[in-house]
Structure 1
């Protein structure tokens, strides 16, 4: 299955939500496609996230966390399983680009981030607003165990 079709299947509900690795074709507007399907999209640009603090700061900005966000892993999980300030009509799609930056620089933080994403996806699974997280682009290491969407 190609990357476009895999995303279409996910957006149409033919694939279960989850945390996936995904390599979109060049110049493919996955954000517009997901928004047209009614999902609330969050884009994480991981180029500057090379450790826990910078990763949490990136998340706080991208998800527009409330002031009470505590800049720690527990607070990240609490916010991702709440999102009351950012309602999603038909669900949430998190696209984490350049995730390999964190994976290469701080494997422990990357592992923890994956665990938090998996918990958030699970908490939304049976709701009217399921969440999927896509690790966009190439990379290896810790992400090798993450299933590929396609």
Structure 2
């Protein structure tokens, strides 16, 4: 398991750092919902391009150390988009030591 991504269940959610930024996804996890939600939660700049490269840029230029994503109640997950998101988080973590993504499942 990567140090960049930590999976926990609802019962262990209290182990997530308190300063973790919650990526609020309502019903469907997709590229669009991920990028929109993380941009809002992370207070990304207005010039954020809502694409994967822009996400990497903003994550590595920010002070975000921890992200939290609750998948327990999400009805539909685009696995290709989710895997790309995780890959970007892992790359940023490998290069800069942050952020860590805490996934509740």
TM-score when scaled to structure 1?
0.58
How far off is 1:59 after superposition? 0.8
2:5 is aligned to 19
Which of 86, 92, 101 is residue 114 of structure 1 equivalent to? 86
Which of 44, 52, 70 is residue 97 of structure 1 equivalent to? 70
* Larger relative contact order (Cα-Cα within 8 Å, sequence gap ≥ 6): 2
SS in 1 for 2:29: coil
The structure where strand makes up a greater share of residues is 2
Q: Assess, with a 3 A threshold, how the Cα gap between structure 1 residues 19 and 29 changes in structure 2: closer, same or farther.
A: closer
How far off is 1:123 after superposition? 2.1
Kindly report the root-mean-square deviation, in angstroms, between the aligned alpha carbons of the 2 structures. Answer: 2.6
Q: Distance in 2 between matches of 1:59 and 1:105?
A: 16
Asked whether 1:45 is paired with 2:24, we answer: yes
Segments of 5+ residues of structure 1 without an aligned counterpart are: 1-15, 138-150
Segments of 5+ residues of structure 2 without an aligned counterpart are: none
